[in-house]
A and B are shown apart, each in its own frame.
Chain A
Amino acid sequence: MSQSDRLPRTVPAPARPGSDGGDVHGLGQAGPTISVADRALVARLLEGDEPAFEALVASLHGPMLRFVRVFLKRSDVAEEVVQETWLAVLRGLPAFEGRSSLKTWIFHILSNRARTRATREGRVIPFADLAAPGDDATETGLEDRFTPDGRWSEPPAPWQVDTPEAIALRREAMQQLAAALETLPDAQRAVVTLRDVEGWSAQDVCNALDISETNQRVLLHRARTRLRRTLGEVLGR
């Protein structure tokens, strides 16, 4: 397992001794960041429990593929990276320290591999650059909607439907939303996909993408602002 596969130090590390992955029988004394379920799962995997592994793969393979496509659009390359990651996960499992959840750990490995591969293919995602402050209004296209003293010059148009369920039934709205998501700048797309589509916590996203809390918030703000506008274009009246 390479150095880059390890979690960054930003992961809250329990100071408790004996809470590393080697202590597979310490079920009753899980540290603050490793769940009892994770600990039991790791133990079963280390024992070679194939159904446990298959269940893990079934639950994470799809989200992992979607995650990798944030970096690599070609689906055959994305599939390759996910498969490589499973090998790395198995190789690293005996040394899994439980300083983060198993899922976060797996996605951190995946993130490193995806970005290495993207760099090799000439696709570098400049997370830091895109989160540079200052050009917010132009980024999000809100500039013209405010008067110089910061009031709405024209209120946001009301939407024809007003619940997530009702919007989900509007095919055009969902298609436009998915298309807008695809055309977001890469870093914004990565963050909003993980946060809002996949439902990750801010902390997990920062860890997986190796970005600061501030970057995460700025990127998410821009992405959501843009996507709200897209929905407004379809649903506004």
Chain B
Amino acid sequence: MLSCRQVTSLASDYVDGALPRRTRLGVRFHLLMCWMCRRYLRQLELTTRVLRGLAGGDEPAEPPAQVREAFRAWRAERGGSDADAPHRPSTPR
């Protein structure tokens, strides 16, 4: 049977569902018997979910001016005709 130390070292992969089947079952079996590792696993999983909350908040509403200029220059370089029809649908005919 896996030890608590082994289970904690597999915890991250377990949370991700990235363990081979046999190992995963070993962890699950251990968790049935061990409330301490259950608590640890739960806290590790919470940590990953809380981290998600650190994302976002700094997306610009629109591209920086340099990027937009670069796009227009690139489009012009590729042939000016497209510049007149920016909304042309691209569905296959």
Q: Hey, which bits of chain A sit against chain B, CB under 8 A?
A: 24-28, 40, 43-44, 46-51, 53-54, 57-59, 61-63, 65-66, 79, 83, 86-87, 90-91, 136, 142, 146, 149-152, 155-156, 158-159, 162-164, 167-168, 173-174, 177-178, 181, 192, 195-199, 202, 217, 220-221, 224-225, 227-228, 231-232
Name, among A25, A90, A173, A199, the residue most crowded by chain B CB atoms within 10 Å (CB to CB). Answer: A90
Q: Hey, which bits of chain B sit against chain A, CB under 8 A?
A: 3-6, 8-9, 11-13, 15-16, 18, 35-37, 39-40, 42-44, 46-64, 66-68, 70-72, 74-75, 78, 82-83, 85-88, 90-93
Contact of A48 among B50, B61, B75 (CB under 8 A): B75
Please determine whether A58 and B63 come into contact, CB atoms closer than 8 angstroms. yes
Name, among B40, B85, B88, the residue most crowded by chain A CB atoms within 10 Å (CB to CB). Answer: B40
Contact residues of B: prevailing secondary structure? helix
What are 5 A-B pairs with beta-carbon distances under 8 A? A24-B90, A25-B92, A50-B86, A63-B55, A167-B50
Cβ-Cβ contact count across A and B, 8 Å cutoff: 173
Please determine whether A225 and B44 come into contact, CB atoms closer than 8 angstroms. yes
Q: How far is the CA of A79 from the CA of B60 in the complex (A)?
A: 12
Contact residues of A: prevailing secondary structure? helix
Given A27-B92, A177-B54, A178-B54: A58 and B62 interface contact (C-beta under 8 Å): yes
For B83, list chain A residues within 8 Å (CB). Answer: 48
Please determine whether B59 and A62 come into contact, CB atoms closer than 8 angstroms. yes
